[in-house]
Amino acid sequence: MNHPLQFLKLMRPHQWLKNGFVLVGPFFAHAWGTPGVVSSVLLALIAFCLIASAIYVVNDLADVEADRLHPTKRLRPLAAGTVSNGGAVWLAIILFVVGMAAAWFASPMVALIVLAYLFLNLAYTWRLKQVVILDVFIIAAGFMLRILAGTTGIGIEPSSWLLLTGLMVTLLLGFSKRRSELAVMERSGEMTRSVLQSYSLPMLDLMIGVCTAGVVMAYSLYTMSSETIAIHQTDNLIYTVPFVLYGMFRYLYRTFVDNLGEDPARDILRDPHLLVTLVGWVVTTLWLFQ
């Protein structure tokens, strides 16, 4: 019990991929050459990784009994008994202290945003995850706080279009997660999350469709806006839209046909189509920025 590798597994480092939203601001603001931006945004990224891991530990402590009924979550360290509750509590405390220190050194504003993220997620763990629809909006709010930490937190003015795109993307991921969880519950017959009783597959399918359309429209309008063209000195960002379309459709395929989506970070890392699409979008965008 309490093997170091089990502590690492409890931290869920593959989920740190989500904290890439912190990098969106500097990426689109061409701010990587600005003094202090790189160090500040990397500290903000580290802070979110550590605080997010602390929250995962707290969530697992709160959900340990429910996780033991889930076909895959029962393998998590706390549910499987490979990490003690006491060891998990100490890990959460250490992650919190180091994470908040990194956030403070990034900037006081980043520290404030990270604290807001922490309290939002604690409220989610103890109550808000039981409120239908609001539960997904709380998940999306966590992603939006990441974007704000990488923009407002380090002195970069966020783009309204990118904020809207980010909101629609995160709502899509949240509703896809609920759809996958509901599908697992219906197959296994075990109640793994009480809020799922308030959802239905047709309702979630409709919400996912709305969010997908919102992502494509918001991002497409961003690439064509006069403000974007002025900032990036190019009107060719519209040619990155096919990457977004393919990525959305591939993710929907994996969600509806393969019944994935419960763990978006792991799904992206394990799907070569999504990985190549993501890399292609980044490389093409950087090339157009030249």
* CATH at residue 107: 1.10.357.140
205 and 240 in a single domain? The answer is yes
Do 24 and 166 touch, CB atoms closer than 8 A? yes
103 and 185 in a single domain? The answer is no
150 and 183 in a single domain? The answer is no
The pLDDT of residue 29 = 79
In our burial notation (b when 16+ CB lie closer than 10 A, e otherwise), range 112-122 reads ebbeebbebbe
Selection from 156, 124, 163 nearest residue 44 by Cα: 156
Q: Of 158, 189, 211, which residue sits at a domain end?
A: 158
d(CA 284, CA 24) in angstroms, rounded, equals 15
In our burial notation (b when 16+ CB lie closer than 10 A, e otherwise), range 218-244 reads bbbebbeeeebeeebeeeebbebbebb
258: burial class by Cβ within 10 Å (0-12, 13-18, 19+)?
Answer: exposed
Q: Could you give phi then psi for residue 109, rounded to 5 degrees? A: -65, -40
Listed in sequence order, the residues at least 6 apart from 193 whose beta carbon sits closer than 8 Å to its beta carbon are 66, 129, 181, 185
pLDDT lower than 70: segments of the chain = 1-3, 189-192, 261-262
51 and 114 in a single domain? The answer is yes
d(CA 99, CA 53) in angstroms, rounded, equals 10
149 and 173 in a single domain? The answer is no
d(CA 259, CA 253) in angstroms, rounded, equals 9
253-268 residue pLDDT tens: 988 887 776 677 777 8
The pLDDT of residue 80 = 74
Q: Could you give phi then psi for residue 10, rounded to 5 degrees? A: -65, -30
Residue range of the domain that includes 79: 1-158
Helix, strand or coil for residue 25? helix
Q: Of 124, 143, 158, which residue sits at a domain end?
A: 158
How would DSSP label each residue in 133-178? THHHHHHHHHHHHHHHHTTGGGT-PPPHHHHHHHHHHHHHHHHHHH
Q: Of 158, 190, 205, which residue sits at a domain end?
A: 158
Could you tell me where the beta strands, DSSP code E, fall in the chain? none
The pLDDT of residue 258 = 77
Q: Give me the number of domains the chain comprises.
A: 2
The pLDDT of residue 95 = 94
d(CA 178, CA 261) in angstroms, rounded, equals 8
- Residue located via tokens 């997908």: 212
Rg of the chain over Cα atoms, rounded to whole angstroms, equals 19
14 and 104 in a single domain? The answer is yes
The pTM (predicted TM-score) of the whole model is: 0.84
3-state helix, strand, coil in the chain (%, to 5): 80, 0, 20
255 and 244 in a single domain? The answer is yes
Cα angle value 143/245/177 (rounded, 5°): 40
Do 149 and 104 touch, CB atoms closer than 8 A? no
